Amino acid sequence: MALKAYKPSEEFRWFSQHRLELSQKYLGKHIAIIGHEVAGHSQDPREAYRQAKQKYPDREPLLAYIPEAEGYLVL
């Protein structure tokens, strides 16, 4: 059985390309990315998700946390 190559989502690719500017703007916050935009942000990940779903009800956001120290958590 051949393994399929993993193809990152559009949101993950955008996050990877813009992580430095996002880390300056959203330090210590959870962000919800849809397409090429931050569609929600908050200290509470549920609130960031809610904001994104309110704006784009038919899309599923990529959630990421921008820590105050170096490093990232992407779900």
Q: Write out pLDDT tens, residues 5-58.
A: 778 899 999 999 999 999 999 999 999 999 999 999 999 999 999 999 999 999
Does the pTM of the predicted model rise above 0.95?
no
Q: Is 71 left (phi over 0), alpha (psi -120 to 50) or beta?
A: left
The answer to whether position 33 is within a domain reads yes
Which domain covers residue 28, as residue numbers? 15-74
Q: Is residue 51 part of a domain?
A: yes
Structure tokens, 48: 């960031």
Our count of domains for the chain comes to 1
Position 37 in a domain: yes
Residue 2 lies in a domain: no
pLDDT value, residue 27: 94
- Establish if 8 belongs to a structural domain: no
